[in-house]
Amino acid sequence: MRYINANEILPKDLVVKLQDYVQGEYIYIPAIKEKHKNWGEQSGFREEINKRNKEIIQAYASGNSIQELAESYHLSVYAIRKIIYNK
Do 26 and 19 meet the contact criterion of CB atoms below 8 Å apart?
A: no
Q: What is the pLDDT of residues 22-73, one digit of tens each?
A: 999 988 888 787 777 777 777 878 889 999 999 999 999 999 999 999 999 9
Report the alpha-carbon distance of residue 82 to residue 9 in Å, rounded. 43
Confidence (pLDDT) at 11: 96
Q: What pLDDT score does 87 carry?
A: 55
SS3 content of the chain, % helix, strand, coil (to 5): 55, 0, 45
Query: How many CA within 13 A on the CB side of residue 8?
Result: 3
Distance, in Å, from the CA atom of 15 to the CA atom of 19, rounded to the nearest integer, reads 6
Phi, psi of 37 (to 5 degrees): -105, 140
